[in-house]
Amino acid sequence: MSDASLVFHQDFPVKGGDFAKAGAVACRIKELLKDLGFDSWTVRRAAIVVYEAEMNVVMYATDAQVALSVAPGSVRLVVDDRGPGIPDVDLAMTEGYTTATAEMRELGFGAGMGLPNIKKNADDFHIESEVGRGTRLDITIRTNGHGTS
Amino acid sequence: MIVLKDVLALLDGELLTSPTSPDAAFEKVFASDLMSDVLHSAEPGALLVTGLANSHVVSTCAVADLAGIVFVQGKRPAADVVGAAQARSLPLIATKMTMFEACSRMAGRLEDGGHVRR
């Protein structure tokens, strides 16, 4: 995505441990993408990606920034967190693998579906993680010409 | 498809949010206490049946475009959760039935094409 094609960019902070506000960024981004004219399927995929990422930050990280970049026909989401990092990314990408606590599971999360579900809803998905520093997700969702025309 | 007024009748349910159209329709029903599963597998327009009554249930439905929530086994969300659902025009229903009984009653209706059984 070149800067020339960028039509919208906004950064959103997410605080680790703040379960009460988890989902607020996903709902905000969902409204923004609707207002920008994206189709409902693209909006839903982006919202699910952000929500899963937000929950991961809330459950495991200290804080994070979610960067939303919109270009004609695509939505890019970069989630950069400061946190413990993931020792084995391949294992973390396995459906059902989790290190969640009982408290997290009682909230309905931590079932080991977060990262696989983010990948499922992305057209391009990249993950980098460094133990002791944090994790960076780079996701692109493409549409079929809908939105931000 | 199943409509709101039939859900209320089948489950002896109580509508916790302000009255919406009794003919509001749900394309499908999805039952789970795992919000991760809802985000992964539930379809837009579905009615969620769950025993979980925290704010994340409403957020999950808002994110994934689900159209209503049934809380089973007498679970009742707090007032702020009801308010959040109300703001999103998401009907909330409480029933004392178990998850199994609620699902089996609605499954019978869905198999019947949404028509009343006599």
* B52-98 tens-digit pLDDT: 999 999 999 999 999 999 999 999 999 999 999 999 999 999 999 99
Torsion (CA) A103, A108, A112, A114 in degrees, nearest 10: -120
Chain B residue with minimal CA distance to A24?
A: B59
What's the confidence (pLDDT) of residue B116?
47
Query: Would the CB atoms of A44 and B33 count as touching at under 8 Å?
Result: no
CB atoms within 10 A of CB A2: 6
Q: Is there a domain that residue B117 lies in?
A: no
What's the confidence (pLDDT) of residue A1?
46
What's the confidence (pLDDT) of residue A108?
87
Domains within chain A, CATH numbers bracketed: 3-142 (3.30.565.10)
Q: Is there a domain that residue B17 lies in?
A: yes
| Residue B103, both tokens | 């699902």
Q: Report the CATH number at residue B28.
A: 3.40.1390.20
Instruction: Please give the share of chain A, as a percent, with pLDDT higher than 90.
Output: 73
**Domain count for chain B:** 1
- pTM comes to 0.89
Q: Is there a domain that residue B75 lies in?
A: yes
Q: Quote the CA–CA distance of B95 and B29 in Å, as a whole number.
A: 15
DSSP 8-state class, residue B68: E
Q: Is there a domain that residue B24 lies in?
A: yes
What's the confidence (pLDDT) of residue A99?
87
Residues of A in contact with B55 (CB under 8 A): 20, 23
- Mean pLDDT score across all residues of chain A: 91
What's the confidence (pLDDT) of residue A3?
56
Sorted by sequence, the CB contacts under 8 Å of residue A111 that are 6+ apart come out as A96, A98, A100, A105, B34, B36, B37
- pLDDT band for position B114 (50/70/90)? low
Query: Would the CB atoms of B56 and A107 count as touching at under 8 Å?
Result: yes
Cα of A141 to nearest chain B Cα, Å: 16
Taking only the tens place, the pLDDT of each residue in A52-87 is 999 999 999 999 999 999 998 999 999 999 999 999
Would the pLDDT of B118 be above 50? no
Would the pLDDT of B115 be above 90? no
pLDDT average, residue stretch B98-110: 94
Would the pLDDT of A147 be above 70? no
Which residues 40-69 of B have a C-beta within 8 angstroms of A?
40, 44, 52, 54-57, 59-60, 62-65
Sorted by sequence, the CB contacts under 8 Å of residue A84 that are 6+ apart come out as A60, A61, A131, A132, A134
pLDDT average, residue stretch A3-23: 88
- pLDDT band for position A112 (50/70/90)? confident
Taking only the tens place, the pLDDT of each residue in A90-99 is 999 998 888 8
Tell me the backbone φ, ψ of residue A91, rounded to 5 degrees: -65, -40
What's the confidence (pLDDT) of residue A149?
43
What's the confidence (pLDDT) of residue B113?
62
Q: Is there a domain that residue B116 lies in?
A: no
Distance between first and last Cα of chain B? 18
- pLDDT band for position B30 (50/70/90)? very high
| Residue A64, both tokens | 């994070």
Which residues span the domain enclosing B28? Answer: 2-111
Q: Quote the CA–CA distance of A27 and A47 in Å, as a whole number.
A: 7
Bigger pLDDT: B111 or B30?
B30
Any idea which of A42-46, A102-106, B82-86 has the lowest mean pLDDT?
A102-106
So what's the ipTM on this one? 0.85
Strands (E), A16-145: 63-71, 74-82, 124-130, 134-142
pLDDT average, residue stretch B27-47: 94
